[in-house]
Amino acid sequence: MCDDSIEVINKMLDEIAKANRYDECQIKIKSVSSGGANYTSYLHHVTISAPGKDDLKLFVKLAALGEKIRSAASFIIFEIEDFFYKKLLKTYEAIEERNMVSSEHRLVTPKFYASNDKYCKEVLILEDMTSKGYQAFNRFESIDWKYASKSIQNLAKLHALSIAWSIDDPKDFENNKSLEFNAYISIRLDLLKNSIKNTIEVTRPENKEKIEKFCKEMTEYDVFRGFLNPIRRPVIVHGDYRPSNLLHRKLDNGEYDVVSVDYQTLFKSNPMFDLMYFIFTGSDKNFRKNYFKRTVEHYYKELRAALERLNLAPDDIYPREDFEYELEKMMPFGLLISTFALPIITVQEEDAPKVTKDIDLNDFMALPSSLYKERINDIIDDYIDMGLL
């Protein structure tokens, strides 16, 4: 972290301390490692202490990507996440308040404190959820049913709120340029094609021809774009809804409390994008064998419940036939996104791409781990068994 970035963060923290009346305060900043789970940000835990006050625990994200990678597409690192906390979340909270949604059914997010949008020095400062007992999921493990069910419940709340917004203010929903993804489709497609080379390399010989044919068909521009766009029911998707981007704490009754974080990749798409993404990047073969259908059904059940809490009629807004139609259309996406996301999710920390200002797009290609080889071949087998490959 360079000196001018430290200066930016220190100034922001001083302003937060002043706004929260932390007089004569001490500010401690501790850099933390993501353990190979984050490639776009430098991460820091911050403690602001003052006499007679409880410590204020904050989480700071500082943009780590420099000009080299941004030359491919000029963008502000936390632009979407900033939009989420400053505008969209307030819209969602107003919808929940107007419909008198009980606290247990409301979307929970970290508290937003401040942001800086200066190019290449972007900063986002949020509540440190680990101070409340939340922790990150072990990305090398498979989800279980208890964890999956609560994660899906959280996802349903997120989707239902975006549907409510689209009905409350269709013009703003349709015309919001911050949530359009088309500008980055070509970049995503190029990255995907690069990752597919590793997938083919580790695929068992008897399945190589099948996976090559599948990937060639699925990475045609119009086909790939179809997975990203709305189909019948447009929603604002998380865009990277995997266990690594969720925080959880275990309650006294053994259940999980799950909170989604990292809203950097929100965009307008279809509900199945997040659902397929979550299942195939977070589960192993055993989970899918026992819980795939149950997880899919649980999502639809929870989405209907979330819509009803917002005084919306699920059968009119997202009838069962639309859900099943979108599920069928998006099933190939589970395998396709696995070829891109799983190498990053399963990479060992020592082999993970190093976060530096000089990193470029090609540096995001993680070397296939033994766990990746196992996971991707199991998914390929599942798709063969389902008759989709």
Question: Tens of pLDDT along 243-256?
Answer: 999 999 988 888 89
In degrees, rounded to 5, the angle at the alpha carbon of residue 205 between the alpha carbons of residues 202 and 208 is 75
Interval 85-108 mean pLDDT: 97
Residues 337, 167: contact at Cβ < 8 Å? Answer: no
What local confidence, expressed as pLDDT, does residue 389 receive?
94
CATH, domain range 74-109+133-385: 3.90.1200
Question: Does 356 or 369 have the greater pLDDT score?
Answer: 369
Contacts of 76 (CB under 8 A, 6+ apart): 82, 117, 119, 122
Q: How far apart are CA 335 and CA 222, in angstroms?
A: 17
**Poorest-confidence range of 32-41, 124-133, 277-286, 342-351?**
32-41
pLDDT average, residue stretch 92-100: 98
**Which residues touch 373 (CB under 8 Å, ≥6 apart)?**
202
Q: Give per-residue pLDDT as tens, 141-164.
A: 999 999 999 999 999 999 999 999
Q: What percent of the chain has pLDDT over 90?
A: 76
Dist CA 187 CA 308 (whole Å): 38
CA pair distance 304, 107, nearest whole angstrom: 15
Q: Residue 190, Cβ neighbours under 10 Å: how many? A: 14
Predicted pLDDT of residue 67? 60
For 151, other C-beta atoms within 10 Å of its C-beta total 25
DSSP 8-state code for residue 220: S
Is residue 156 within 8 A of residue 241, CB to CB? The reply is no
Single pTM value for the model: 0.93
Q: Bin 12: left if φ > 0, else alpha if -120 < ψ < 50, else beta.
A: alpha
Cβ neighbors of 253 (< 8 A, separation 6 or more) are: none
Tell me the mean pLDDT in the region 276-287: 98
Give the C-alpha separation, 262 to 246, whole Å.
8
pLDDT in the model for residue 373: 96
Dist. CA 78–CA 195, nearest whole Å: 25
On the question of pLDDT at 83 being above 90, the answer is: yes
Q: How confident is the model at residue 71 (pLDDT cuts 50, 70, 90)?
A: low
Residue with tokens 């107003």: 94
Q: Check whether 27 has a pLDDT greater than 80.
A: yes
CA distances from 202 to 8, 230, 335 (A): 45, 32, 14
Provide the pLDDT for residue 182: 67
Instruction: Say if CB 57 and CB 128 are below 8 A apart.
Output: yes
Residue 40: partners with Cβ closer than 8 Å, 6 or more residues away: 63, 64, 65, 77, 264, 355
